[in-house]
Homo-oligomer: A and B are copies of this chain.
Amino acid sequence: MRTESRKDVLARLRSVAGHLKAVERMVEEDTYCVDVLKQTLAVEKALERIDAMILEEHLETCVADAFRQGKSERTVKELAEIFATARK
């Protein structure tokens, strides 16, 4: 990843870690299940936004290089795999 994107991804991962810590506390304090669920779902959405950023970075750097160098076979397979895993 390029330096700017890496910094951005790291800041978001740390924010997600903080959010997750707050969810732990909610469970310890026996908060209403539905309120806990709303928060775990929000954490998942935040992680999905991070995935999207990493993927875009990947497309603009590694994927672009691989296609330019005619070594795209592995790249295509990896992208197809990620797409499939992300939807499961």
Contacts of A45 in B (CB 8 A): 88
Contacts of A84 in B (CB 8 A): 52
A14 to B79, CA, bound (A): 27
**Residues B47 and A51 in contact, CB atoms below 8 Å apart:** no
Contacts of A61 in B (CB 8 A): 33
**Residues B33 and A58 in contact, CB atoms below 8 Å apart:** yes
Contacts of A76 in B (CB 8 A): 56, 59-60, 63-64
A residues with a Cβ closer than 8 A to B are 1, 6, 9-10, 13-14, 16-17, 20-21, 23-24, 27-28, 30, 32-34, 36-38, 40-41, 43-45, 47-48, 50-52, 54-64, 67-68, 70, 72, 76, 78-80, 82-88
